[in-house]
A and B are shown apart, each in its own frame.
Chain A
Amino acid sequence: MGVFSFKGGVHPPYNKDLTNSKSIVPANLPKELVIPMSQHIGAPCEPTVAVGDNVKEGQLIGKSTSFVSAPIHSPTSGKVKKIEERLHPLSKKVLSVVIEPDGENEKVYMEPLGDDPAKIDAEKILERVKEAGIVGMGGATFPTHIKFSPPKDKPIDTLILNGCECEPYLTADHRIMLERGNDVVLGARMIAKVLKVKRIIIAIENNKPDAIEELKSLSSPYDIEVVATATKYPQGAEKMLIKALLDREVPSGGLPMDVGVVVSNVGTSAAVCEAVRDGKPLIERVVTVTGNAVKKPGNFLSKIGIPIASLVEQAGGVEGNLGKIIMGGPMMGISQPSMDVPIMKGSSGILLLQKEDYMTLDFRACIKCSFCVRVCPVHLLPSTLSIIGEAKKWELAEKYGVNDCIECGSCAYVCPSKRPIVHFIKTTKAKLREIKAMEKK
């Protein structure tokens, strides 16, 4: 079998050996958990509990009546201490439920639906995915039940489970595939049942041969293809993955369902499995705590709401001259001003980096080296977009396809002038949205 790949992309130092042999260990609970009512793309939830209430693990604490939303559950048993605005990883304050764990570990899970997809109604699985508050755990945090209910005119023929984990440093998905491969495979079969698809592909970058072997053997009784893709960033971007595996291009402005595909992260698949089989809502996730400013990097099974400071402490604490706190990976993660923010459903990693020279915010004029043009996986002219963005010519940027940018950061990674290309592009997109909103009024 040839190696599946795409045109463009970069090869940053992966640094996965810091944690890829570290088994997932459950993280200890700190004195308080902070659970933001917005952990997904879509409408925020309203708290369904009040200060002083006793809650149990798995109890619903937030929901929304909006279509695009996902309910939120208490990660542990304890007492609601406060309901107030707290710092959110997207650098804004968001209404959050603060829970003080009582250490009793009392659970109220939903009714288990069994472990044989053939015997469970597709509708029941879908309903369970919704009730369990599952969102895309690769970082996009789009409510999963919506992704799994495409409109009738978009027939789906293939489910791709994304185990590429192309972001450097992160190994959470890798460990999930190794340690919870059965859940991943069972979850995939459940999702396939919902989508009524025959073809299931599990895609893993070829730098994880052990995970490929493990999933191949676990999925051998079923009609599931496990394929190795090239190790190249951003192989795990769904547009690139679909192109590599099926040679289909998601149309500009479109979604994978437009080409008959649903892509789901392997962690999401494991979460679907737990929700259906065990009745367990999405209240915890695997988080890689890593980087050269962390004493003992590792993979943690963290409850949602644990402040990252607590996880870092459990990973041995900070070492050296801390330069950056990043939630997510180094290429697309969000840099944080402090460690007070909590782990959310989409937090795949906490990355602490030593202060380095390149972190300076200085940059030069574009020298048209075209390195960025070569690596752009969606074939844009990032250099031109950065110049247009710098000159604040928002409308011109639209003609150069700025909205097609997937913000993977390959361009800014290779730029010898160290231009913050993604920053310029994000700003341009935001300005264009503002202009569109103004025009509507």
Chain B
Amino acid sequence: MEKEISKVIVSTSPHIKSNETVSKIMLSVIITLLPAVAFSIYLFGTYVLLMYVVSVATSVISEYIVVKLRKRPFTLNDLSAVVTGILLVMVLPPKFPIYGVIIGAFVGIVIGKQIFGGLGHNIFNPALIGRAFLAAAYPVHITTWVAPRIGKISAVSGATPLAAMKFGGVVTRNLPLFLGTVGGSVGETSALLLIVGSIYLFIKRYIKWQIPVSIFITVAVLGEIFHLINPVKYPGPLFHLLSGGLMIGALYMATDMVTSPLTGRGCVIFGIGIGTLVIVIRLFGGLPEGVMYSILFMNAFVPLINRAKPRIFGTEAVHEK
């Protein structure tokens, strides 16, 4: 018995821990993305599968190299690099060149995450950093769309519903938008599959629910207001909700734990900010779509939002200084 006693662990309480781990959360995100991933391969062909493989491989290898160079503990098993790799492809056009995918994944992991100190320290969503870099570096490729294998091809050849709306005044019907049988980035088209996948994350509370809900409400309300002002020029709220990157952005990008606020109230502010920017960019900006920039922009405000502390138990107002 003495021998056993000498080996006991002495540490601060608590002495039991829940079975939640970072890897488990990331694995859940990956699994819930799979329906949308599978659909995207079906919709745009096997080239998309190649993009996924290359992107995930590049992400993992980049992470491995940086971690080795920085002599940091091995963190690949947290699977976050895999999530970044998958999400990056989901927000790229379906025929994006492979070398571009490699560059995007590398930039996302190295500049988007590891430069800040790795998972937990980054300010911006790594996948969106990768995409933003590609949007700046390859403006033509990033706006070259292909028609989906099923569903009606929109009037403007191969264009996304948002581009068709903005530049052609054509509004895509809601059902194909909801199902995802439309043009667009690889994994963003099917609102249905993204919503279904995310239900599990809501139940497990891996998603800070206030974020997507406040984005949806903001987009719907602002969309409706402008639609009432000028129904011909501005599409209705459902179109805004179902088109472009809004669903994947609200459910999977804005909800990235590391780059979103800590408190429920903070998440609401964050969501309202994103929703407002999305509508402003879509309706008045030069680009047809603004989800990516809206999220990145609001990511920058998270450290500031997190300085607002909740009311501590037994204090009157917000604890300040």
Contacts and interface: CB of A to CB of B under 8 A. Distances in A.
Interface in B93-139: 117-121
Interface string A415-426: 111101011001
B13 A407 contact: yes
Interface residues of B, number: 48
A207 B17 CA distance: 21
A347 to B, nearest CB: 15
A318 B4 contact: yes
B312 interface: yes
Contacts of B314: 239, 249-254, 378, 404
Contact of B18 (A12, A91, A252, A378): A12
Interface string B1-30: 100110111111111111011101100000
Interface in A351-378: 351, 353, 355, 358-359, 361, 364-371, 373-374, 377-378
Contacts of A339: 5
A381 B10 contact: no
Interface in B248-298: 257-263
A413 B18 contact: yes
A321 B206 CA distance: 34
B123 to A, nearest CB: 11
A338 interface: yes
Nearest to B1: A318
A323 interface: yes
B309 A323 contact: no
Contacts of B205: 371, 374
A370 B263 contact: yes
B119 A365 contact: yes
Interface size class of A (residues with CB under 8 A): 35 or more
A370 B257 contact: yes
B87 to A, nearest CB: 16
B310 interface: yes
Contacts of A326: 13, 15
A399 B1 CA distance: 47
A307 B260 CA distance: 50
Nearest to B260: A368
A226 interface: no
Interface in A45-95: 91
Query: DSSP class of B's interface residues: helix, strand, loop or mixed?
Result: loop
A404 B312 contact: yes
Nearest to A375: B18
Query: DSSP class of A's interface residues: helix, strand, loop or mixed?
Result: loop
Contact of B321 (A317, A338, A399, A426): A399
Interface string A244-259: 0000011111100000
A70 B24 CA distance: 49
Contacts of A355: 7, 9
A168 interface: yes
B22 A384 contact: no
B312 A379 contact: yes
Interface in B210-261: 257-261
A323 B8 contact: yes
Interface string A91-114: 100000000000000000000000
Contacts of B309: 381, 400-401
Interface string B173-204: 00000000000000000000000000000000
Contacts of A239: 313-314
Interface centre among B5, B208, B313 (most CB of A within 10 A): B313
B315 A413 contact: no
A320 to B, nearest CB: 9
Contact of A332 (B14, B121, B257, B310): B14
A379 B17 contact: no
A405 to B, nearest CB: 10
A415 B310 CA distance: 19
A334 B258 CA distance: 32
Contacts of A413: 14, 16-18
Interface of A: 10, 12-13, 91, 168, 239, 243, 249-254, 317-318, 321-326, 330-339, 351, 353, 355, 358-359, 361, 364-371, 373-374, 377-381, 383-384, 399-401, 404, 407, 409, 412-418, 420, 422-423, 426
9 closest Cβ pairs, A-B complex: A365-B120, A409-B14, A423-B12, A378-B313, A252-B314, A416-B20, A358-B17, A330-B16, A401-B312
7 contacts: A355-B7, A358-B17, A359-B11, A361-B9, A367-B257, A368-B257, A399-B321
Interface of B: 1, 4-5, 7-18, 20-22, 24-25, 75, 78, 117-121, 205-206, 208, 257-263, 306, 309-315, 319-321
Given A378-B313, A415-B17, A416-B21, 12 more contacts: A239-B314, A249-B314, A252-B314, A318-B1, A335-B15, A365-B119, A378-B314, A399-B319, A404-B312, A409-B13, A412-B14, A422-B12
